[in-house]
Amino acid sequence: MKIAYGTWESSVQLLSKYMCVLSKYNPGTAVEWKHLRSNTEKIKTLNYVFWAFRSCIDGFRHCRKIISVDGTHLYTKYKHKILIAVTLDANNQVLPLAFAIVDEETSDSWKWFLENLGRHVVYGENGVCLISDRHRGNCASN
């Protein structure tokens, strides 16, 4: 497995290169990072990463103004969570709008995700309905 896919550490280290290539070959794709504070500029520890493909951002303009958000566990060594926002198009097909990998499902991580969703996907739209299961997650950082 390590030979074919690398280690957990090498995969996380490649995430920034992957996002860079993703943006290069999908112009207009939004990518935002939030790192944990560090004593050195050379070492950055991932806290959150958000991305939304340009084609999905553009597609939202032609969809119902209802967005459903949810999160789930990534069962990996690092126990991160993935947050996702989706909508339905006119044919009742699911259109993924945005994704984020976060360290925990907290009020802070959801706030950060929703702010980026608003900044990159929903901007300029009025009357958008947000549907959530309102799961409290780990709200230790309220």
Could you tell me the pTM of the whole model?
A: 0.81
Q: Which residue has the higher pLDDT, 43 or 13?
A: 13
Show the domain range for 72: 2-141
How high does pLDDT run on average in the chain?
84
Mean pLDDT over 96-109 rounds to 92
The whole-number pLDDT of residue 4 equals 74
Across the range 59-72, mean pLDDT stands at 93
What integer pLDDT is reported at residue 141 of this predicted model?
A: 45
- DSSP characters over the chain: -HHHH--HHHHHHHHHHHHHHHHHHSTT-EEEEEEE--SSSS--EEEEEEEE-HHHHHHHTTS-SEEEEEEEE--STT--EEEEEEEE-TTS-EEEEEEEEESS--HHHHHHHHHHHIIIIITT--S-EEE-------GGG-
In the chain, what percentage of residues exceed pLDDT 70?
80
Number of domains in the chain: 1
pLDDT digits (tens, 9 = 90+) for 14-36: 777 888 888 898 899 999 888 77
